[in-house]
Amino acid sequence: MVYAAVATGLSRIEDGDGDALNAVRGKKVGLVAHPASVTAKFTHARHVLHSAGAKIEVLFGPEHGYGGEAQDMIGVTEARDPATGAVIRSLYGATEAELSPRREWLDGLDAVLIDLQDVGARYYTFVWTAALVMKAAAQCGVKTIVLDRPNPLGGTAIEGAPQRPGYRSFVGLYDVSVRHGLTIGEICTMVRALEALDESCLDVVRMQGWTRKMMWSDTKLPWILPSPNMPTPDTTLVYPGGCLIEATNLSEGRGTTRPFEIIGAPFVDGDKLASRVHAPGCQLRALTFSPTFHKHARTICGGVQVHVTDATAIQSYPLYLKLIAEMHQASNGKFAWRTEEYEYVTDRLAIDLLTGGPEFRVAVESGVGLDAVLGAEEDGARRFNETRQQFLLYR
C-alpha cells in the first residue's frame, strides 16, 4: 500500500477526484512531462490521463527531454513514444525560438497539460518551459492545465534577490528570487497576471494536503529524478547555491554520484576550504574526487562535499556565494568564470545571469568582501516575499 501525505494534481486524477477528472475527461490534450511525472504509485501521467478518458495527441519534452536522458544544455530532438505512438515534440533545441511550441503543434487541442516536478530554484528551467507553453497556448485559444506538485524546498523560505534589469534569460525569464518558494502552478499564476492573459487560459489542479512549511520528506512522496543530475531530495536543498558552480571552471560534481553537493577542482584545497566556510544546516567535509565526465573528467580534484544536516535551516545560495569567493581568492589565478554561451546567451557571463546581475562577480574580483552583496540579496528576498503573496494558491 502506498501512503502519501500529499496528493498531487496527477494523483487526484488517478484517485478519481471528480473535479480533477472533469478537467481532463474527453479532451484532446498535449502533455508536457518528464520521468518524474508520476503518481505516488509510480504511474506515469500519460497512463493516468489515458485511463481518465483524455486523448493524448502530442507529448512535449522540456530540457533533458521527455525521457530525461539528455545532460544539461544538450538540445533534444523529436521522437515518438513507443507506448502510445504519440509524437514527442522537443521544447529544448538549438535556438531560443525552440523553447516555445509551434502554433501547428497546438492546433486541434482542447488543452495542454503540464505535469513537471520543479526543484524550487530560479534557474531550474522547467517552470519557464511551463510559462512559455502557457503563453503560446493562450495565443491559440488553448487552455493550459497545470497538475500541481510540491516545491521540494517548501513554500516559506526565500533566498536571493530577483534579477536586476537586463539579466533575464531562460534561467530566469521573470524576476523572482533564486529560491522562490512557489509551486509551478503559482509560477504560472504569476506569469498569467504579469502578461495580462485572460484568466480562463489557466487552470491549476491543486494539490491536497500540501502546506507551505512542508519539505520534501514531509510529503511522503517518492523522489524521482526530474533531470539526470538531481538524484536525491538533498540535491534540491543545495541546488540554489550549487548551480552557481556551473558558471565557473570548478566542477559542480557532474560525473560523480552527488552532483552539486560535491564541488572542487584540481587547484582547490578541500581542508582549507572546509575550515574557512561555515553555514547553518550543513557540514562541509573535505574530499578528493575524480569526475567520470564533464569538467576535469578523470582528474583528481580537491574540494568539499556539502552534507545537509538540517533541511529546514540550510540556505545554500549564500553558502555557495561564500564558497566561490573563497576558492577564487585561494586559487592563485587558476580560478576562472565561464565565458562560453550559457542557455542561449553570449553577451553576458553565466555567473551574472545566475546571480541576476554583476554585483557578486565584481565584489569577488575586487576582493572587497561579500557583506554588501549578501545584504542586498537578503533585502531583495524580503521584497520578493511581499510581492509573491498575491500569487499564492496555498495558505
Question: What is the Cα–Cα distance from 210 to 226, expressed in whole angstroms?
Answer: 20
Residue 114: give the domain boundaries: 9-222+387-391
- Pick 170 or 81 by higher pLDDT: 170
- Please, which pLDDT band fits residue 68 given cuts at 50, 70 and 90? low
- Pick 83 or 92 by higher pLDDT: 92
- Please, which pLDDT band fits residue 71 given cuts at 50, 70 and 90? low
Read off φ and ψ for residue 46, nearest 5 degrees: -65, -35
In contact, 129 and 92? CB cutoff 8 Å: yes
**Mean pLDDT throughout 217-224?**
97
- Please, which pLDDT band fits residue 67 given cuts at 50, 70 and 90? confident
pLDDT given at position 78 = 65
Whether residues 60 and 206 fall in one domain: yes
- Please, which pLDDT band fits residue 76 given cuts at 50, 70 and 90? low
- Give a yes or no: residue 95 inside a domain: yes
Whether residues 124 and 268 fall in one domain: no
**Mean pLDDT throughout 157-177?**
98
pLDDT given at position 1 = 53
Find all residues with CB under 8 Å of 362, minimum gap 6, and list them.
none
What percentage of residues in the chain have a pLDDT greater than 70?
96
Q: Can you give the pTM of this predicted structure? A: 0.95
In contact, 285 and 323? CB cutoff 8 Å: no
pLDDT given at position 15 = 96
Number of independent structural domains in the chain? 2
pLDDT given at position 46 = 94
Q: Which residues, listed in sequence order, are joined to residue 61 by a DSSP beta bridge? A: 90
Whether residues 145 and 13 fall in one domain: yes
Whether residues 237 and 194 fall in one domain: no
Least confidently predicted of 74-83, 253-262, 312-321? 74-83
CATH label of the domain that carries residue 62: 3.40.50.12170
| pLDDT for residue 360 is more than 90 | yes
- Give a yes or no: residue 366 inside a domain: no
Whether residues 193 and 142 fall in one domain: yes
Count of CB atoms within 10 A of residue 159's CB? Answer: 26
- Give a yes or no: residue 326 inside a domain: yes
Query: pLDDT tens digits for 112-142?
Result: 999 999 999 999 999 999 999 999 999 999 9
| pLDDT for residue 349 is more than 80 | yes
pLDDT given at position 60 = 96
Residue 58 carries which side chain, given as an amino acid letter? Answer: V
- Give a yes or no: residue 373 inside a domain: no
What is the chain's mean pLDDT, rounded?
Answer: 95
Count of CB atoms within 10 A of residue 2's CB? Answer: 11
